[in-house]
Amino acid sequence: MRTTDAEGTGTETTVPGTNGNGTAGTGGAGTSGAVTGSAAAGKAARAGRRKQAAAAEERPVLARFPRPARLAGYTLLLAFALLYALPFLIQVATSFKTDPEAASRPLSLLPEAPTTAVFEKLSGSGEAGDGVPFTRWLGNSTLVTVVVTLGRVLFDSAAGYALARLRFRGRALLVTFVIAVMAVPPVVLLIPKFLVLNTLGIFDTYTGMIVPLLFDAAGIFIMKQFFESIPREVEEAARIDGAGIGRIFWYVVLPMSRPALITVTLLSFQGSWNEFTHFLVATQSSDYETLTTGLARFVSGGLGAGTQYPLKLGAALLSTIPVAVLFFCFQRYFIRGANAGAVKE
């Protein structure tokens, strides 16, 4: 599956000539391509000849739609894409509006009188930022996310390696156990988790927020499947050289696992940054509020606080940015994550 996925994303990077302008894989090999500039077309054609095999793969099976249908199709598609993007654009615009403007012109993308009051208030320099201790939320979210991500990468890869490669008694049982755990829906664990945290005396502490998140069955599986795809010969060679299991894992296997490690890192980051229900039941005092719990309580509760939409949307916007940046930089890995474990045998 990874190979095919690479066709979708990969060709764009490996054959820049054919699709530098985003026409993903129209190819120059003969079809009346959309590239009209003569130089570009020539270049594309040359590149196309060079990569004839790849280009053939990219040639559409069926004839293109007639022009009017194509235009209509693009319009419809664009409108649809707008439906997906518009909420975020409105969010950005609204966070620069004043309260009255947000209420009177909710749809406009250009604030009449742009103001950064929201961000001043969120950064704590504005007046009455009491109800929204944004910097505190940000600090808590960052701390928890960083620790959880580091921990998960370590534990997931260790456990994944053991389940994939090491032979020991009870391994099959453990695999079943992990599968069973993955079948437990997280929302039924709300009260149960609270009971455990409380019994352990770590309710409403950073420990209680972090430790339960360190163990994540899905990540273990991603790592396990990746390790199974690594040729055994590599390890055997190291073993002949006298390396122990710990050394092989650390110095041979892990360095080879960069793609999977990056995927797990990103997924852990995104998962713990966006985590809500666990923090909701693991903490109580506002000292431990994260971006998700703080924002959720701020948005859902607080009679008398008024609607304050610019402030709410601004806070939501800032809390989205880190994941958004990672997403746009490492999109490939996110997509792999969505199809994770998609490792060829």
Partner 1 sequence: MFRRSAVAVTACAVLAATTTACSSGFDKNENGPEQDTGKGQSLRVLVAVSGDAETKAVKKATAAWEKKSGHKVTVQLAKDIDQQLAQAFAGNRPPDAFYVNSDQFANYAKGGSLYAYGEKVPDKEDFAPQLRKAFTHKGELVCLPKDFSTLGLVVNTEKWKEAGLSEKDYPDTWDELEKTAAKLTKGKTAGLVTTNEYQRLGVFMKQAGGWITDSSESKMTADSKENAEGLGFAKKLLRSGSMKYAKQVDTGWAGEALGKGRAAMIIEGNWLAGAMKQDFPDVDYKVLPLPEGPAGKGTLAFSNCWGVAKESTHQKAAVDLVRHLTSAKEQLASSDAIGVMPSRESVMDEFAKEHPESAGWAEGDAYAQSPVTVPGFTKVLDQFNSDLQSLSTGKPATILSTLQRNGEQALKKGD
Partner 2 sequence: MSTSTGTPAPPSTAGRPGPSPRSRFASRGTRGREGLWGWLFVSPMVLGLGLFMALPIVMAAWVSLLNWDGQSNPFTPDADFVGLANYRSLLAEDGLARTLLATSLRNNTYYVLLTVPLQTALSLTLAIVVNQRMLRGRSMLRTTFYFPSVTSSIAVCTVFLFLFQGSGAVNQLLGYVGVKGPNWFADPRGVLWVLLEAAGVIDGEKPGGFLAEHRLMGLPWSEWLAGPSVAMCTLILLAVWTTSGTFMLIFLAALQNIPRELEEAAALDGAARRHVLRHVLLPALRPVMFLVTTLGLIATWQVFDQVYVLGQGDPANTTLTPAFLSYSYGFDNAEFGQGAAISFVLLAIVLLMTGVQRVLLRERGSRRPRRARGRQAQDTPEKGAVRAHD
Chain residues that interact with partner 1, rule: CB under 8 A: 103, 128, 130-131, 169-170, 173, 194, 197-204, 281, 284-287, 297-298, 300-307
Question: Of 61 and 173, which has the nearer Cβ to partner 1?
Answer: 173
* Binds 107: which of partner 2, partner 1, none (CB < 5-8 Å by kind): partner 2
Question: Of 123 and 277, which has the nearer Cβ to partner 2?
Answer: 277
145 part of the interface to partner 2, by CB under 8 A: no
- Closest listed residue to residue 119, CA positions, set 320, 345, 337, 318: 318
Stretch that binds partner 2, among 37-45, 117-125, 211-219, 252-260 (CB under 8 A): 211-219
Determine contact, residues 1/344, Cβ cutoff 8 Å.
Answer: yes
Min separation Cβ 112 and partner 2, Å: 16
Contacts of partner 2 in 121-140 (CB under 8 A)? none
* Binds 319: which of partner 1, partner 2, none (CB < 5-8 Å by kind): partner 2
Contacts of partner 2 in 34-53 (CB under 8 A)? 34
Question: Of 127 and 345, which has the nearer Cβ to partner 1?
Answer: 127
Question: Residue 154: helix, strand or coil by DSSP?
Answer: helix
Residue 126 corresponds to which amino acid?
Answer: G
H/E stretch holding 54 reads helix 52-58
112 part of the interface to partner 2, by CB under 8 A: no
Rounded to whole angstroms, the Cα distance separating 123 from 73 reads: 45
150 part of the interface to partner 2, by CB under 8 A: no
91 part of the interface to partner 2, by CB under 8 A: yes
CA 156 to chain CA mean position, Å: 17
* Binds 11: which of partner 2, partner 1, none (CB < 5-8 Å by kind): none
* Binds 305: which of partner 2, partner 1, none (CB < 5-8 Å by kind): partner 1
Question: Residue 20: helix, strand or coil by DSSP?
Answer: coil
Stretch that binds partner 2, among 5-13, 45-53, 131-139, 254-262 (CB under 8 A): 5-13
Question: Of residues 40, 155, 206, 254, which one binds partner 2 by CB under 8 A?
Answer: 155
Question: What is the DSSP track for 48-71?
Answer: HHHTHHHHHHHS-SSPPPPHHHHH
Min separation Cβ 100 and partner 2, Å: 12
Rounded to whole angstroms, the Cα distance separating 334 from 328 reads: 9
Min separation Cβ 325 and partner 1, Å: 29
163 part of the interface to partner 2, by CB under 8 A: yes
H/E stretch holding 193 reads helix 190-199
Rounded to whole angstroms, the Cα distance separating 171 from 179 reads: 12
Min separation Cβ 329 and partner 2, Å: 12
Determine contact, residues 36/6, Cβ cutoff 8 Å.
Answer: no
Q: For the chain, give the number of residues.
A: 345
Determine contact, residues 123/135, Cβ cutoff 8 Å.
Answer: yes
Burial of 316 (0-12, 13-18, 19+ CB in 10 A): middle
267 part of the interface to partner 2, by CB under 8 A: yes
* Binds 48: which of partner 2, partner 1, none (CB < 5-8 Å by kind): none
Look up residue 30 and give its two tokens: 């003969």
* Binds 303: which of partner 1, partner 2, none (CB < 5-8 Å by kind): partner 1
Question: Of 81 and 305, which has the nearer Cβ to partner 2?
Answer: 81
- Closest listed residue to residue 205, CA positions, set 142, 151, 131, 140: 140
Min separation Cβ 205 and partner 1, Å: 9
